[in-house]
């Protein structure tokens, strides 16, 4: 599955177009590389993969004729990309960051039949959720500040950096 960001320069074939030209974006990318050693990335119709991996393990067992246990273990790992600015303004691909949420769940159930008319279930459940944002460094070797470039011939504000 791909997360589509179908924006591009005024002279591109993108579905949605900015007022900014490809020449302006190229000049900004060149300036960032020459001045800061930072690779800004691409800018027309950027796409990123979106993935999800899931593992589910369920174990059932009889303790004896009146008691049984159940263990359920589940891990879900996702990966999708987000932009620091979601306004649809000109943005380079290295201005996006990966969001890889991970969820881990463990559930234990113990079922007991005490009499023909009385039974119980004891449940323990635990959930762990972690989400760290991973930013690309654009070859800079570390995090690069985000620049907002104003005052262009078009009314666009261009975002570069992370």
Q: How far is residue 49 from each of residues 2, 63, 81, 144, measured CA to CA in Å?
A: 5, 45, 8, 23
- The tally of domains found in the chain comes to 1
What's residue 40's pLDDT? 86
Closest CA to 15 of 56, 40, 45, 35: 45
136: nearest Cα among 30, 41, 25 = 41
Number of other residues whose CB lies within 10 A of the CB of residue 153 = 9
Question: Which range of residues forms the domain containing residue 41?
Answer: 2-160
Low-confidence ranges of the chain (pLDDT < 70): 1-5, 84-87, 133-143
57 vs 128: CA distance, rounded Å: 16
């Amino acid at each position: 599955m791909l997360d589509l960001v179908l924006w591009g320069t005024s002279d591109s074939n993108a579905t949605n177009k900015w007022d900014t030209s490809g020449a302006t974006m190229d000049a900004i990318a060149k300036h960032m590389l020459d001045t800061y050693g930072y690779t800004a990335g691409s800018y027309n119709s950027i796409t990123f993969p979106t993935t999800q991996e899931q593992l589910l393990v369920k174990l059932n067992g009889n303790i004896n004729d009146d008691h049984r246990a159940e263990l359920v273990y589940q891990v879900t790992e996702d990966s999708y990309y987000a932009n620091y600015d979601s306004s649809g303004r000109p943005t380079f691909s290295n201005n996006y960051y990966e969001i890889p949420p991970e969820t881990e769940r463990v559930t234990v159930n113990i079922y007991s039949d005490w009499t023909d008319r009385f039974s119980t279930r004891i449940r323990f459940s635990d959930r762990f959720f972690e989400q760290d944002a991973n930013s690309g460094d654009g070859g800079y070797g570390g995090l690069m500040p985000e620049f907002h470039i104003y005052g262009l011939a078009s009314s666009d504000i261009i975002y570069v950096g992370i």
